[in-house]
Structure 1
Amino acid sequence: MINGCNKSIKRRFEFPGTEWPATPRTAEILRKTLNCRKFIPMRQFFFLLLLTGWSASAQVNIQVSSTEVDNILRGNYNAADYAAPFEVSDHQFIICNINSEVSVDSLAADLAVLASFQNRNTYSDTLSETFGIGAATRWVYDKFQAISANNSNRLRPAYMSWEQPGGLCDTWIGDGPFKNTFAVLPGSDPDNNELVIIAAHMDSRCDDVCDIDCLAEGMEDNASGTALVLELARVMAPFSFRQTIVFLVTSGEEQGLYGANSFADYCNAEDIPIRQVQNNDIVGGIICGETSSPPSCTEPGSIDSMTVRIFANTSPLQEHLNFSRYVEYIYHEKLETLMQVPMTIAVQSQEDRTGRGGDHIPFRENGFTAVRFTSANEHGDGSPDATYTDRQHTSDDVLGVDTDGDAIIDSFFVSFTYLQRNTIINGTMAALGGLAPPVPVWELIDDPAGLIVDITEPLEGMEYRVAVRTGGSDLWEQVYRTDTTWFIVPGQEAGTMYFVSVAAVNSDGITGLFSREFFKT
């Protein structure tokens, strides 16, 4: 269904304890999810923990299951074969539709199904129809197929498989193969194709990263991100974008970012360009744990349902942190007035939480712009020991609990409305990334008149944005608008270090990604 913006929506504020209006269908799913916890199949597998920390083993024999999808990734396709039945060129209409169509009930239902697989460890059962990573992987693929069937078969799903010699866990599955599950929404401009990737890992774990029999529903980490990706596939599939949108669900994250490494390495080796990667990992929880990894909340039990952190590599010579700044800038420019509950985009000046990692890192290592979206509050640092009482990386990372004995979960650890808002923000950034102009080519000239932005390869019909910050600020202090290709940065002070970046704005009013920063005193 395609809707425009509802101008009559009034802004409201959400407070802890707000009831979630579940539908009867979703309530039944939640009842079944709670009942599933009463029995966990125990398999007599023996495993050996080979390493602690991230695995250094490499992925081999990386393959895409569908030749059609592989060609779409490479830009080798006829765009007319995948055109939307009704073309919508108004980006504001698309943003409004994402804002109105992302559904709390849909997100909650997907979370409940993901919980029902009980253990999604990368090394867990691949044969069962109801338990383990195999059943979960097939369900995600079928979900993509169903979305495609409702949208003229334009969303094309596939698996990416790989083998992992010397992997972290010695279980029955051995070296694999392991699988990512993804779907592509082909862009309308294959000659200038760059992928826009919305990603999340689906695998879960307990305190022992190789335990394939424990209850590991992994609701915050990271069914929340998986549900976000699936929901955006559903909401964005009716539209066409210039760039190909990829909805990527990885596995192997908990053992060493295996799935993300496979996808990033494959794209790099095959010269498949990527415009941006939005990794979503732990995006539904709002309660602070005792050991939340810094920079994070400091008061256990505190609640934050109105802030999302964005992590990125901080080198000014690359575009990652500028993408975080772009999200914050575009949120205020395009989205803030549409959302019922205001959000704070907290740009973080480090690549991930202290001592932690995520699926955006392999993409950055392969030269692709990538960031991580994460809840403001995490329930733990993921390192259980004898004194650990938090939920992350334990059997307690569940959807919620039944407090009144009616066999229905009624007190939730995942906030569906908070997850909904993070989904809307992600969808907006991906939609604009899929429609925006490329990064302009320019240089920064140190002239007696001041610092001059010289756009050396002008883009036809474009305006430009010039973002400026000083060395003492992590955020842009000014963003100037200009329709010229020769721009003097105003208000300069002697002896101050200035960091400058540039973005193009097309005739539809869409601001593209900002370039890497150039800096001079």
Structure 2
Amino acid sequence: MKKLLFTLLTIVCIYKVSVAQSPVIVNKDSEIAGMVAEVSADSMKNYINKLVSFGTRNTLSSTTDAQRGIGAARNWILSRFKSFAATSGGRFTAKFDTSTYKPDGKRIDSTVVLTNVVGTLKGADPNDHRVFIISGHMDNMRSSVMDRSGIAPGANDDGSGTAAVIECARIMSKHKFPATIIFVAVCGEEQGLLGAGFMAANAKRDKWDIQAVLNNDIIGSNNSNETNIIGNTRVRVFSEGLSAFELTEQKAAAIRAMGLENDGPSRQLARYVKEVGERYVDNLDVVMIYRPDRFLRGGDHLPYQQQGYAAVRITEMNENFNHQHQDVRVEKGIQYGDLAEFMDFEYLRKNTAMNLSNLANMAKAPQSPQDVNIAVVALSNLTELSWKAPAGKAAGYYVLMRETTSPVWQKKIFTADTSMKLPYSKDNYFFAVQSVSATGNESLPVVPAVSRKR
């Protein structure tokens, strides 16, 4: 069995270290591939149309009207989650998570109860405390964030992200994973990331072991105004290079000494999202953007980053600002407003499938290796790496390599051991180590610390 596994994983990893890479042969986990195939453009369209039907989902809108406003929208999302729970064999649960905010003189003019809708797919391994989160915000806005009564479809911003969360929950709730996956439709994003801030702060207080947050915000349209670019084969992933969380002067000095300014947790997550997403979703190029977010905008991944968690924002490649934060109107022959007619549901399907494949691969993977070190004891053209096995069971490990100028990992080397000596100079490459399961699911990579011992 070990020989067969080694052969399989060796076949999976035909990589070249040169920048000009040959096509990579990868092994798809059949269970994940099956889930990806279930993602439905028709389902996404139905979700969007239902969300639009509530008239407005402004955070300040009615919470008591059964047909219109943020209250009706969140009740419907909870009902969808509860329907998934009913067929999950007890693994999936759904609830409201509420917080109260007082007027702030800025984006809240009256006391408001913010409500996140949270679905939790509990991990099957009681000793695996990892948590993976997919997020989209259910609230929306017109030209004025304080306009709680005007028509605000919010089809793409962020009906698209909310629909992705619902669709992933529908499909994944039928499966078991060692780790826990949380599906959340947050509120208060347009009022200042309030719902995500509340959840991230509580997670930190309660010591959740959040390994990754995939925040989806505006992922369903394929064209841009002004430049008139049209295309549904590329999606952006925004990530910060380094986290300022607990970045002491000593840690900053070590990062500079090793040249790891581009290797913070969120940037590593972005690399992972690109590799796995492109593995499972055809005709989709995941484009890493080396910024936490876009100019003049902010998303629900930022509060998690501020709490020290790895988090990224997933956003369409070509944005049309005529259909974001706009009153619905026709002006000089141009239709404004965030209407469903301007969406590309096949593109939304691909972006949702990309999210699902990453969540599933991370949650099925073993926990990351521990105490990963690179030996720096003498001048040498070799690289010596060592690590400790994670809690739980790993079938083996991937040692990752990339040239210092490469944005992505270029070579994977499988080993069943917890150390490796490589005929590559540590001065010329970056390295990391992943745990891998018997079905080829990789953990998030761990960059080695410097050890003065062999």
Task: Give TM-score, length-normalised by structure 1.
Answer: 0.71
Of residues 163, 174, 186, the one that matches 1:227 is 163
Decide whether aligned partners of structure 1 residues 476 and 131 sit closer, same or farther in structure 2, where only a CA change above 3 A counts.
Answer: same
Conserved 8 A contact 1:164-1:175: yes
Of residues 367, 371, 375, the one that matches 1:445 is 375
**Match in the other structure for 2:416:** 483
Alpha-carbon deviation of 1:451? 5.5
Of residues 358, 363, 381, the one that matches 2:299 is 358
Alignment of 1:273-312 (within 5 A): 273-290=209-226, 300-312=227-239
Instruction: Identify the range of structure 1 (268-277 vs 448-457) with the bigger mean alpha-carbon deviation.
Output: 448-457
Alignment of 1:325-404 (within 5 A): 325-332=271-278, 334-336=279-281, 339=282, 342-380=283-321, 390-395=322-327, 396-400=336-340
**Match in the other structure for 1:503:** 434
Instruction: Identify the range of structure 1 (127-136 vs 473-482) with the bigger mean alpha-carbon deviation.
Output: 473-482
Conserved 8 A contact 2:115-2:186: yes
Alignment of 1:120-519 (within 5 A): 120-167=57-104, 168-171=106-109, 174-290=110-226, 300-315=227-242, 316=260, 318-332=264-278, 334-336=279-281, 339=282, 342-380=283-321, 390-395=322-327, 396-400=336-340, 412-441=341-370, 442-446=372-376, 447-450=378-381, 452-459=383-390, 461-492=394-425, 496=428, 498-516=429-447
Decide whether aligned partners of structure 1 residues 461 and 92 sit closer, same or farther in structure 2, where only a CA change above 3 A counts.
Answer: closer
What SS does the aligned partner of 2:349 have?
helix
Deviations 1:343-388 (CA, angstroms, capped at 9, x unpaired) = 10111111111232111111111121111111111112xxxxxxxx
Conserved 8 A contact 2:277-2:355: no
CA distance in 2, matches of 1:490, 1:214: 65
Conserved 8 A contact 1:221-1:282: yes
For structure 2, the residue ranges without an aligned partner over 5 or more in a row are 1-26, 243-259, 328-335
AA at the equivalent of 1:427: L
What SS does the aligned partner of 1:326 have?
helix
CA distance in 2, matches of 1:452, 1:266: 41
CA distance in 1, matches of 2:435, 2:384: 13
CA distance in 2, matches of 1:188, 1:150: 16
AA at the equivalent of 2:230: I
Alpha-carbon deviation of 1:506? 2.1
Decide whether aligned partners of structure 1 residues 354 and 480 sit closer, same or farther in structure 2, where only a CA change above 3 A counts.
Answer: farther
**Match in the other structure for 1:58:** none
For structure 1, the residue ranges without an aligned partner over 5 or more in a row are 1-89, 291-299, 381-389, 401-411
Alpha-carbon deviation of 1:207? 1.6
**Match in the other structure for 1:60:** none
CA distance in 1, matches of 2:449, 2:233: 33
Alignment of 1:15-94 (within 5 A): 92-94=29-31
CA distance in 1, matches of 2:404, 2:208: 35
AA at the equivalent of 1:207: S
CA distance in 2, matches of 1:243, 1:195: 6
CA distance in 2, matches of 1:152, 1:367: 34
**Match in the other structure for 2:4:** none
Decide whether aligned partners of structure 1 residues 482 and 260 sit closer, same or farther in structure 2, where only a CA change above 3 A counts.
Answer: same
Decide whether aligned partners of structure 1 residues 461 and 514 sit closer, same or farther in structure 2, where only a CA change above 3 A counts.
Answer: closer
Conserved 8 A contact 1:186-1:243: yes
Decide whether aligned partners of structure 1 residues 179 and 424 sit closer, same or farther in structure 2, where only a CA change above 3 A counts.
Answer: same
What SS does the aligned partner of 2:397 have?
strand
Deviations 1:438-465 (CA, angstroms, capped at 9, x unpaired) = 1212112224334534333134553222
CA distance in 2, matches of 1:512, 1:170: 41
AA at the equivalent of 1:130: Q
Alpha-carbon deviation of 1:516? 4.2
CA distance in 1, matches of 2:75, 2:421: 55
Conserved 8 A contact 2:326-2:338: no
CA distance in 2, matches of 1:491, 1:199: 40
What SS does the aligned partner of 2:119 have?
strand
CA distance in 1, matches of 2:200, 2:276: 26
CA distance in 2, matches of 1:365, 1:493: 32
Q: What is the percentage of aligned positions where both structures have the same residue? A: 30
Deviations 1:140-196 (CA, angstroms, capped at 9, x unpaired) = 11111122223345321111111223433344xx23221101111111113322111
Deviations 1:108-133 (CA, angstroms, capped at 9, x unpaired) = 01100000111111111111111111
CA RMSD of aligned residues (A): 2.2
Conserved 8 A contact 2:366-2:443: yes
Deviations 1:254-300 (CA, angstroms, capped at 9, x unpaired) = 1111011111100100112112111111110111123xxxxxxxxx2
Conserved 8 A contact 2:59-2:188: yes
